[in-house]
Amino acid sequence: MNIPNLIPFRTKTPPTPNRTRRAVVALGGGGARGLAHLGVIEVLKQTRVQVQRYVGVSIGALIGAMCAIDDDILHVQGRVMGFLDSPGFDHHQQQLFGSANVPNETASTGIMAWYDRAKYLYSAHRRLTRAVTQQSLLHDAILTASINELIPDVEFSDLPMPLSIVTADLRSGHRVVLESGSVRRAIHASMALPGIFPPVEHNGMLLCDIGVVDSIPTAVASAYANDLTILVDIGQRNARMEKFDTAMDVMMRMQDIGEQILRREKTELADVHIRPELTGISWFDFQNPEEVMDRGRTAASEEFLRHSFFHTGSSEAAESATGDHPKPNPAIENVRFR
C-alpha cells in the first residue's frame, strides 16, 4: 500500500536557501516512553526549524499540549520531573500496578504468605468482574488527577501554539481530531486506554485512545504541513515470539502485528522520522525519566545531522509560530475535525 497516494496533500512550499524551515511535529503514543519526546523537542529547539503545530496521540497529546502552552522546554521538563517525583504520582502508580503481579513466594511464609496470596486473588477477581460488567478495569480519577496536575484549565483557543489531539470515536468508528474546547478533556480522551480507563463522552461521541491501533499521527500532521512533517515514534520495535499458549496470546500478537505494519506504512508520510532507541523501557516504567529523555536527545541529534536544514548557523529571523495556519484538507478519509 502506498499511503502517500491515498491522502490528498496540501502543496508544500518549495525550499529556498538559508530560509527558516517550519514543521508540524507528530508525537506518537507509548506511555512512559513518551518522555523521549521531551528530549527530542529540546534538541529541535536548538535548530533553525520553527515548530508550526504539535499533533499528538495519547502521551504525545499530553507532551504536545505542555509544549504548546509553554515554549520553554527546560521548564516543561522540570515540571514533568517534579510531578514524577511527587507523592501524588507514587500513589497513582501504586493504584495502577500495586497488585498487578503475583506476590513473590519467598517474600513471606506461613500465615502472611497465605494472606498475600489471598489478597492478590481477591484483587484479580475484582478486576475480572469489572472487565465483564463495566467499561474499564480502572476508574478515571487517576488519569484525571495526573492531567490536571500538568495542564492548566485552558481552551484550545487560549494556546499560543496550535495543537491537534487525535483520538477515536467508538460509536462512529472514525478517527477524531480535537482542536476546540477543553484541552484537559481532549487529552483525557486521547489517553483513555481502551478497557483500562473508561471512554470519554464528548459532544455525542464516545472517545478513547487510538494509539493501540494507530500510534503515530502522521496523516493528520501531514495534512497541516506546508513545509516539513517531523515524526517522533516511540513505539515498541517488532520482536520475534515463539510461544502462544492461549487464545489471548494469539489475539494480542495479531493486534501488535497490525499496529506495527500500519506504523511502518505511515512513516512514509513524514519528512523526518525520529525513533529513539527505547529497548528495555516499558510503557509504564517511569523509574528513569532522565535516561529516557536523553535517548530522545540522542536520536534527534543523530537524525538532524542527516538534514542540512536543521543545522545551526546564520539565518533569517525566525518566522512567527502563530502566523497563518492552514486548515487541513477535509477529504482525508475517516477523519473528523472537532
Distance CA(139)–CA(283), nearest Å, equals 19
Distance CA(227)–CA(194), nearest Å, equals 34
Asked if 233 contacts 267 with a C-beta cutoff of 8 angstroms, the reply is yes
Q: How confident is the model at residue 176 (pLDDT cuts 50, 70, 90)?
A: very high
* Within a domain: 329: no
Is it the case that residue 135 has pLDDT exceeding 80?
no
* Within a domain: 262: yes
Is it the case that residue 249 has pLDDT exceeding 90?
no
**Cβ contacts of 20 within 8 Å, gap of 6 or more:** 48, 49, 50, 315, 316, 317, 318, 319
pLDDT at 246: 83
pLDDT at 142: 81
Residue with cell 496523516: 219
* Within a domain: 267: yes
Q: How confident is the model at residue 211 (pLDDT cuts 50, 70, 90)?
A: confident
* Within a domain: 108: no
Distance CA(166)–CA(260), nearest Å, equals 18
Is it the case that residue 122 has pLDDT exceeding 50?
no
Of the two residues 176 and 330, the one the predictor is more confident about is 176
* Within a domain: 335: no
Q: What is residue 168's three-state secondary structure?
A: strand
Average pLDDT over residues 55-71: 97
Domain containing residue 32: CATH number: 3.40.1090.10
Of the two residues 284 and 129, the one the predictor is more confident about is 284
Is it the case that residue 140 has pLDDT exceeding 50?
yes
| Active-site residue, from 209, 214, 227, 233 | 209
> pLDDT tens for residues 305-338?
999 888 754 333 333 443 444 455 544 555 667 7
Distance CA(296)–CA(239), nearest Å, equals 21
Share of the chain above pLDDT 90, in %: 51
Average pLDDT over residues 13-24: 73
Nine-digit cell at 102? 503475583
Distance CA(160)–CA(69), nearest Å, equals 6
| Active-site residue, from 58, 146, 215, 222 | 58
Nine-digit cell at 195? 478497557
* Within a domain: 125: no
What DSSP designation does 211 have?
T
Distance CA(43)–CA(53), nearest Å, equals 16
Residue with cell 536527545: 297
Instruction: Tell me if residue 209 is catalytic.
Output: yes
Q: What is the pTM of this model?
A: 0.78
Is it the case that residue 137 has pLDDT exceeding 80?
no
Q: Among residues 295, 261, 294, 290, which one has the least CA distance to residue 278?
A: 295
First to last CA, the chain: 28
pLDDT at 199: 93
> pLDDT tens for residues 280-292?
888 788 889 999 9
Instruction: Name the domain count of the chain.
Output: 1
* Within a domain: 306: yes
Instruction: Give the ranges where 85-200 is alpha helix by DSSP (H).
Output: 87-97, 110-133, 141-150, 183-191
Average pLDDT over residues 259-266: 79
Asked if 45 contacts 73 with a C-beta cutoff of 8 angstroms, the reply is yes
Instruction: Tell me if residue 90 is catalytic.
Output: no
Question: 121-148: b or e for each residue (b if 16 or more CB lie within 10 Å)?
Answer: eeeeeeeeeeeeeebbbbebeebeebbe
Q: Give the range of the structural domain holding residue 28, as residue numbers without chain letter.
A: 22-95+142-310
Q: Among residues 263, 159, 163, which one has the least CA distance to residue 210?
A: 263
**Pairing label, strands 205-208, 200-202:** antiparallel
pLDDT at 162: 98
* Within a domain: 221: yes
